[in-house]
């Protein structure tokens, strides 16, 4: 029997607010091929693999999604991401990070998962947004990484 992270057992995800060091941050528009919340703007992230250090997971996911190496990574906080997906309760623990990158090197490296990327500030957000994005953005704002 196949078991699914976040549905049959608690999933752990590394999420990251990619920033340029000047207060701007990068969001990704989720494609129709993603697990859920298709067409919504979100920070980056991915599942923590068994035995993987979460900093290594952030590096891996940033490189997979955006084709760039992080300049630095700061752990911000953890939160419970409780939602419903296809009528089922889901439970993920999100480990939120701020990740500084060189904006000139960022690209869509997973076009099957990401339709669009762009830089934003908190006063100019796109729509629609992922249902759990506020937790990550507020953590990055509180730590002074984004404006």
* Full-model pTM: 0.94
C-alpha angle 105/111/97, rounded to 5°? 55
List 52's β-bridge partners, or say none: none
Domain ranges for the chain, please list them. Answer: 11-142
Please write the tens of the pLDDT for every residue from 115-133: 999 999 999 999 999 999 9
pLDDT-based confidence at residue 9 (cuts at 50, 70, 90): confident
pLDDT score recorded for residue 84: 84
Q: Which ranges of 17-146 does DSSP label H, i.e. alpha helix?
A: 54-66, 133-142
Q: How far apart are CA 91 and CA 82, in angstroms?
A: 5
Please write the tens of the pLDDT for every residue from 39-94: 999 999 999 999 999 999 999 999 999 999 999 999 999 999 998 878 889 999 99
**pLDDT higher than threshold 80 for residue 1:** no
135-147 burial, b if ≥16 CB within 10 A, otherwise e?
Answer: bbbbbbbeeebbe
Distance of CA 68 to the CA centre of its chain: 15
pLDDT score recorded for residue 106: 98
**Residue 77 and residue 139 in contact, taking contact as beta carbons nearer than 8 Å:** yes
CATH architecture, range 11-142: Alpha-Beta Complex (3.90)
pLDDT-based confidence at residue 7 (cuts at 50, 70, 90): confident
Name the DSSP letter for residue 35. Answer: S
C-alpha angle 18/97/101, rounded to 5°? 30
């Amino acid at each position: 029997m196949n078991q699914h992270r976040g549905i049959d057992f608690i999933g752990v995800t590394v999420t990251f607010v990619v920033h340029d060091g000047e207060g701007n941050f990068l969001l990704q528009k989720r494609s129709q091929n993603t697990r859920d919340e298709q067409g919504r703007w979100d920070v980056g992230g991915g599942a923590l693999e068994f035995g993987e250090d979460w900093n290594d997971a952030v590096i891996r996911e940033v490189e997979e999604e955006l084709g760039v190496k992080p300049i630095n990574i700061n752990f911000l906080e953890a939160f419970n991401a409780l939602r419903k997906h296809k009528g089922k309760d889901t439970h993920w623990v999100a480990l939120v990070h701020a990740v500084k990158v060189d904006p000139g090197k960022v690209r869509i490296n997973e076009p099957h998962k990401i339709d669009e990327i762009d830089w934003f500030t908190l006063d100019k957000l796109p729509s629609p947004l992922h249902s759990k994005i506020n937790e990550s953005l507020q953590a990055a704002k509180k730590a002074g990484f984004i404006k």
